[in-house]
Amino acid sequence: MISRRDFLQTSMAASAILGASGFGQWGRLAAQQALTQDQLLEFDTFGNVSLIHITDIHAQLKPIYFREPSLNLGVGMNKGKVPHITGADFRKMYGINDGSYAHYALSSGDFAALAQGFGRVGGLDRVATVINQIRSDRPDALLLDGGDTWHGSYTCYHTEGQDMVDVMNALKPDAMTFHWEFTLGSERVQEIVEGLPFAALGQNIFDAEWDEPAELFPPYKFFERGGVKIAVIGQAFPYMPIANPGWMFPEYSFGIRDENMQEMVDQVRAEGAELVVCLSHNGFDVDKKMASIVKGIDVILSGHTHDALPEPVLVGETIIVASGSNGKFVSRVDLDVRDGRMMGFRHKLIPILSDVITPDADVAAVIDQVRAPYEDTLAEVIGHSDSLLYRRGNFNGTWDDLICDALLSEREADIALSPGVRWGPSILPGQDITREDLWNVTSMSYGEAYRNEMTGEFLHVVLEDVADNIFNPDPYYQQGGDMVRTGGLGYRIDISKPQGERITDMTLLKTGEKIDASKTYQVAGWASVNEGTEGPMIWDVVEAHIRKQGTVTATGNDSVEVVGI
Amino acid sequence: MQLTRRDAILMGAGAALTVALPLRAFAAKGDEAIAAFTGGAEVGEGDIKLTAPEIAENGNTVPIEVSSGSAVEIMVLAMGNPTPAVATFKFGPLAASRSASTRIRLAGTQDVVAIAKLEDGSFVKSASTVKVTIGGCGG
pLDDT tens per residue, range B27-74: 789 999 999 999 999 999 999 999 999 999 999 999 999 999 999 999
Question: Please, is A497 exposed, middle or buried when counting C-beta atoms within 10 Å of its C-beta (0-12, 13-18, 19+)?
Answer: middle
Distance CA A46, CA B90 (A): 57
Q: At residue B15, does pLDDT exceed 70?
A: no
Across the interface, whether the CB atoms of A528 and B17 are under 8 A apart is answered no
A380: three-class secondary structure by DSSP: coil
Say if strands A503-508 and A489-494 run parallel, antiparallel, or are unpaired: antiparallel
Q: At residue A481, does pLDDT exceed 60?
A: yes
Closest residue to A419, CB basis, from B54, B109, B136: B136
Whether A452 has its CB under 8 Å from any CB of chain B: the answer is yes
The number of residues making up chain B comes to 139
Torsion angle, alpha carbons of A538, A540, A542, A543, to 10: 160
Across the interface, whether the CB atoms of B137 and A482 are under 8 A apart is answered yes
Complete DSSP assignment for B14-40: -S-GGGSS---TTHHHHHHHHHHHHTT
Q: What count of other Cβ atoms lies within 10 Å of the Cβ of residue A431?
A: 18
Query: Is the Cα dihedral A144, A254, A528, A419 positive or negative?
Result: negative
Question: Please, is A372 exposed, middle or buried when counting C-beta atoms within 10 Å of its C-beta (0-12, 13-18, 19+)?
Answer: exposed
Determine the residue of chain A that is closest to B108 in CA distance.
A465
Whether A347 has its CB under 8 Å from any CB of chain B: the answer is no
Closest residue to A530, CB basis, from B4, B11, B19: B11
Closest residue to B53, CB basis, from A255, A468, A532: A255
CA angle B84/B86/B87 to nearest 5° reads 140
The amino acid that residue B16 corresponds to is: A
Distance CA A377, CA A400 (A): 23
Q: At residue A499, does pLDDT exceed 50?
A: yes
The amino acid that residue A561 corresponds to is: E
Q: At residue A529, does pLDDT exceed 50?
A: yes
CA–chain centroid gap for B134, Å, is 18
Min distance B39 CA to chain A CA atoms (Å): 32
Say if strands A329-338 and A381-385 run parallel, antiparallel, or are unpaired: unpaired
Q: What is the mean pLDDT of residues B76-96?
A: 93
Whether A409 has its CB under 8 Å from any CB of chain B: the answer is no
Task: Return all residues near A89 (Cβ < 8 A) that are at least 6 apart.
Answer: none
Across the interface, whether the CB atoms of A499 and B22 are under 8 A apart is answered yes
Biggest alpha carbon–alpha carbon distance for chain B: 74
A8: three-class secondary structure by DSSP: helix
* 0.95 surpassed by complex ipTM: no
Across the interface, whether the CB atoms of A246 and B55 are under 8 A apart is answered no
A129: three-class secondary structure by DSSP: helix
Across the interface, whether the CB atoms of B13 and A452 are under 8 A apart is answered yes
Confidence category of residue A33, pLDDT binned at 50, 70, 90? low
Min distance B65 CA to chain A CA atoms (Å): 11
Top residue of A284, A290, A479, A533 to mutate, by most chain B CBs within 10 Å, is: A479
Across the interface, whether the CB atoms of A535 and B7 are under 8 A apart is answered yes
The amino acid that residue A4 corresponds to is: R
Q: What are phi and psi of A21, to 5 degrees?
A: -65, -40
CA–chain centroid gap for A300, Å, is 15
Min distance B12 CA to chain A CA atoms (Å): 6
Whether A461 has its CB under 8 Å from any CB of chain B: the answer is yes
Mean pLDDT over the full length of chain B: 82
Quote the pLDDT of residue A10. Answer: 40
Quote the pLDDT of residue A21. Answer: 34
Quote the pLDDT of residue B120. Answer: 95
Distance CA A140, CA B44 (A): 53
Across the interface, whether the CB atoms of A530 and B12 are under 8 A apart is answered yes
Whether A482 has its CB under 8 Å from any CB of chain B: the answer is yes
Min distance A557 CA to chain B CA atoms (Å): 20
pLDDT per residue over A381-403, tens digit each?
A: 999 999 999 999 999 899 999 99
Give the residue numbers in B contacting A (CB under 8 Å), as ranges: 1, 3-5, 7-15, 17, 19-22, 51, 53-58, 63, 101, 109, 129, 131, 133-139
Across the interface, whether the CB atoms of A457 and B17 are under 8 A apart is answered yes
Question: E strands within B1-139?
Answer: 43-44, 49-51, 62-67, 71-78, 85-90, 99-104, 110-118, 123-130
Q: What are phi and psi of B31, to 5 degrees?
A: -60, -40
pLDDT per residue over B70-79, tens digit each?
A: 999 999 999 9
Whether A218 has its CB under 8 Å from any CB of chain B: the answer is no
From A229, A293, A236, select the one nearest A263 (Cα to Cα).
A293
Distance CA B136, CA B70 (A): 42
Quote the pLDDT of residue A3. Answer: 43
The number of residues making up chain A comes to 565
A522: three-class secondary structure by DSSP: strand
Task: Return all residues near A188 (Cβ < 8 A) that are at least 6 apart.
Answer: A160, A161
Residues of chain B with C-beta less than 8 angstroms from the C-beta of A421: 137-139
Distance CA B24, CA B18 (A): 13
Quote the pLDDT of residue B25. Answer: 57
Q: At residue A1, does pLDDT exceed 80?
A: no
Quote the pLDDT of residue A508. Answer: 98
- Cβ distance A387 to A139 under 8 Å? no
A23: three-class secondary structure by DSSP: helix
Q: At residue A551, does pLDDT exceed 70?
A: yes
Distance CA A442, CA A83 (A): 25
CA angle A179/B110/A252 to nearest 5° reads 25
Q: At residue A433, does pLDDT exceed 50?
A: yes
pLDDT per residue over A182-226, tens digit each?
A: 999 999 999 999 999 999 999 999 999 988 999 999 999 999 999
pLDDT per residue over A103-160, tens digit each?
A: 999 999 999 999 999 999 999 999 999 999 999 999 999 999 999 999 999 999 999 9
Confidence category of residue A555, pLDDT binned at 50, 70, 90? confident
Closest residue to B139, CB basis, from A305, A465, A541: A305
Confidence category of residue B137, pLDDT binned at 50, 70, 90? low
- Paired with A80 in beta bridges are none
pLDDT per residue over A239-261, tens digit each?
A: 999 999 999 999 999 999 999 99
Across the interface, whether the CB atoms of B9 and A242 are under 8 A apart is answered no
Q: What is the mean pLDDT of residues A53-71?
A: 98
Q: What is the mean pLDDT of residues A433-458?
A: 97
Across the interface, whether the CB atoms of B12 and A533 are under 8 A apart is answered yes
Q: What count of other Cβ atoms lies within 10 Å of the Cβ of residue A18?
A: 18
Across the interface, whether the CB atoms of A480 and B139 are under 8 A apart is answered yes
Mean pLDDT over the full length of chain A: 93
Q: In what order do the strands lie in the sheet with B110-118?
A: B43-44, B123-130, B110-118, B71-78, B85-90
Closest residue to B136, CB basis, from A305, A457, A528: A528
The amino acid that residue A522 corresponds to is: Q
- Cβ distance A255 to A204 under 8 Å? yes
The three state secondary structure string of A482-494 is CCCEEECEEEEEE
Question: Please, is A137 exposed, middle or buried when counting C-beta atoms within 10 Å of its C-beta (0-12, 13-18, 19+)?
Answer: middle
Radius of gyration from C-alpha coordinates of chain B: 19
Task: Return all residues near A397 (Cβ < 8 A) that are at least 6 apart.
Answer: A389, A390, A391, A485
Task: Return all residues near B92 (Cβ < 8 A) that are at least 6 apart.
Answer: none
Quote the pLDDT of residue B135. Answer: 67
Residues 265-324 (A) with a CB less than 8 A from some CB of B = 283, 304-306
Distance CA A443, CA A542 (A): 12
Task: Return all residues near A512 (Cβ < 8 A) that are at least 6 apart.
Answer: none
